[in-house]
Structure formats: structure tokens, C-alpha cells
């Protein structure tokens, strides 16, 4: 068991009813029915990405460190990969194994990409956290040029961050330079202070990119950056207020810090101690043998 340091970073406060067994049951029902719907219409695929991510967050609040967390995150990663595969040129159905008992053949469509570069990074985080190496490496090989949903403007920093994350997964020498470039581009000051874009860069993107950069340093550097990323995550979901209100304090996405978790798992597996304690980090995923 790894020694811990400092004060535990607790879950941000929220409104009543933010995590209930009923909400979790609803997401589980979607997970049960969506695979069959996808066989006939791949446009349902985004819901199979979102539902397990929401379920993972809700489960972490209701039953911290429940073993089913890994299942949810693995499913989200594989569903993201399926969306990427559908964006690739080709004919005929796309075969996908979601890990649900059978291989699905998804029909290709003429629709736009179902996932953008930010969605790709989320899928990689999920696969990394679940230790689904095959899926994370497959996502790392996706051509980002194919992920351009109509009507979605993707910032250059998001594209560079996705590319750098792909490089991290693959152990590419060039990833470090792209990381530094993405960090410079994700400067929150380019957006109006108080805007959602400002908050996202300041509290989510920038700290996680810095965390990835810290993996080139020491374990102490990494844990310092990990604490900073988790504190920023807590600020975003617990303190930021937007107009019109977004009520992100009750969003299941905020109950697990997915990016920091992914890197914590990766660096633990490289032999580094993860000394930061937080409600946002399922310790059972970082140290699978850990008991809570």
C-alpha cells in the first residue's frame, strides 16, 4: 500500500439528488438497450459513450471503488473507438466488441463524425483508467483529421492535446513538444474571464496537460501536478458559475476526475507511488488490490 501525503481532496458540494440509485439504474438501462439499437442505427452510439461515463461517476459517489467502475470505463473507451472506426473510409459494417457478450456489426452511415478530438481524449482516458491497453492504443492510432463533426468548431489546442495524448500512449518521442505547444495554446486568457471556455481551459484542460508533462519528471513532480489538477477539477465542478447556469456541480462527469485518474493509473503501473488521496480518484482502479 502506497503512503499518502497531505490533505484528502474531497468531493465538491452539490444540490440534493445529485447521485441516486434511480439515476444509476437509468444509465444501466440505457447501457442494456443501446447496443441492440446501435445494430440498426449507429447514431445511437454517442449515448453508449455517455451512459457508462455517467454511471461510473454516479457509482463512485454511491459505492466508492465498486469493481464495476472498470466495466463502465472500458465500455466508454470501446464505444468511443467504435465511433472513430465509423468515421474511417471504407464499405460494409464495422465490427465492434464492446465486451457485452457478442460482437456487434455497426452499419456505416453518411453522417458526420460522432466524436470530436475532445471526445477522443475522453475515450483514451477511460481506456487507460480501465487498463484496456488494446483500446487505448487503437484510439492512439486514430486519424484526427477524420474527427470533424459538422457545426463543431474544434480549437487548435484541443487537436494538439489529442495528438499529444496519442503520442503519450504510444511512447512517441515527439509527444513532449506537442504537449508544450498544447499547454501554451490552452491559455485561458484568450477567452472572456468567467466564460465556460475560460473555466474549461483554466480548470480542466490546462492542469491535465501540465500533469501529462510532469510524467517526464519525477514521482514527486507528478504527485504535485496531480494534486493541482484535482484541486482545479474541484474548483470547476464545485465553484465555477456560468450565465446561463449549467449546474455542473451535479454532473456525473465531475464525480470522477477522469484525466487525472488515467495518468495516475499509468504512472502507478510504471512504478511510481501515487500519494494523493481524493474522492475523485477511485483507489481500487489505481491499486487494484487495494482495500478501502
pLDDT, tens only, 201-231: 999 999 999 999 999 999 999 999 999 999 9
Note the pLDDT of residue 138: 96
Pairing of strands 103-106, 276-278: unpaired
The SS3 call for residue 155 is coil
Note the pLDDT of residue 56: 97
pLDDT digits (tens, 9 = 90+) for 118-127: 999 999 999 9
Q: Which three cell numbers stand for residue 62?
A: 454511491
Lowest pLDDT segment from 8-17, 49-58, 107-116: 107-116
pLDDT at 291 over 60: no
Question: Helices 156-170 and 175-185 meet at what angle, rounded to 10?
Answer: 150
The SS3 call for residue 7 is strand
pLDDT digits (tens, 9 = 90+) for 260-282: 999 999 999 999 999 999 999 99
Note the pLDDT of residue 2: 57
Contact between 119 and 80 (Cβ < 8 Å): yes
Q: How far apart are CA 203 and CA 207, in angstroms?
A: 6
Note the pLDDT of residue 4: 62
Note the pLDDT of residue 196: 87
Lowest pLDDT segment from 30-34, 38-42, 161-165, 170-174: 38-42
> Which helix (H) or strand (E) covers residue 104, if one does?
strand 103-106
Note the pLDDT of residue 292: 44
Averaged pLDDT of the chain: 90
Question: What's this model's pTM, rounded to 2 decimal places?
Answer: 0.93
Note the pLDDT of residue 35: 84
Distance from CA of residue 10 to its chain's centroid?
A: 19
Which phi and psi angles does 154 have, rounded to 5°? -100, 125
Mean pLDDT of the region 87-116: 82
Is residue 151 very low, low, confident or very high in pLDDT (cuts 50, 70, 90)? low
Contact between 87 and 149 (Cβ < 8 Å): no
Pairing of strands 276-278, 5-9: parallel
Mean pLDDT of the region 57-77: 94
Note the pLDDT of residue 164: 95
Amino acid at each position: 500500500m502506497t503512503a499518502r501525503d497531505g490533505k484528502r481532496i474531497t468531493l465538491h458540494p452539490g444540490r440534493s439528488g445529485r447521485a441516486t440509485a434511480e439515476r444509476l439504474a437509468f444509465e444501466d438501462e440505457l447501457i442494456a438497450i443501446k447496443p441492440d439499437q446501435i445494430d440498426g442505427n449507429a447514431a445511437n452510439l454517442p449515448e453508449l459513450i455517455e451512459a457508462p461515463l455517467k454511471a461510473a461517476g454516479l457509482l463512485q459517489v454511491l459505492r466508492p471503488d465498486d469493481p464495476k467502475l472498470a466495466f463502465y470505463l472500458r465500455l466508454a473507451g470501446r464505444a468511443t473507438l467504435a465511433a472513430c472506426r465509423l468515421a474511417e473510409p471504407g464499405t460494409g459494417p464495422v465490427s465492434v466488441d464492446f465486451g457485452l457478450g457478442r460482437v456487434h456489426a455497426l452499419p456505416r452511415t453518411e453522417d458526420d463524425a460522432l466524436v470530436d478530438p475532445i471526445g477522443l481524449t475522453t475515450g483514451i482516458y477511460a481506456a487507460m483508467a480501465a487498463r484496456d491497453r488494446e483500446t487505448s492504443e487503437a484510439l492512439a492510432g486514430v486519424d484526427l483529421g477524420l474527427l470533424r463533426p459538422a457545426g463543431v468548431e474544434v480549437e487548435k489546442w484541443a487537436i494538439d492535446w489529442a495528438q499529444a495524448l496519442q503520442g503519450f500512449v504510444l511512447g512517441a518521442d515527439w509527444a513532449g513538444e506537442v504537449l508544450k505547444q498544447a499547454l501554451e495554446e490552452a491559455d485561458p486568457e484568450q477567452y472572456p474571464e468567467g466564460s465556460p471556455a475560460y473555466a474549461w481551459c483554466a480548470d480542466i484542460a490546462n492542469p491535465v496537460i501540465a500533469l501529462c508533462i510532469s510524467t517526464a519528471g519525477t514521482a514527486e513532480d507528478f504527485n504535485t501536478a496531480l494534486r493541482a489538477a484535482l484541486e482545479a477539477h474541484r474548483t470547476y465542478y464545485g465553484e465555477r458559475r456560468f450565465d446561463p447556469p449549467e449546474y455542473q456541480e451535479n454532473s456525473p462527469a465531475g464525480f470522477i476526475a477522469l484525466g487525472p485518474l488515467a495518468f495516475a493509473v499509468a504512472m502507478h503501473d510504471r512504478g511510481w507511488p501515487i500519494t494523493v488521496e481524493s474522492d475523485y480518484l477511485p483507489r481500487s482502479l489505481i491499486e487494484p488490490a487495494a482495500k478501502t
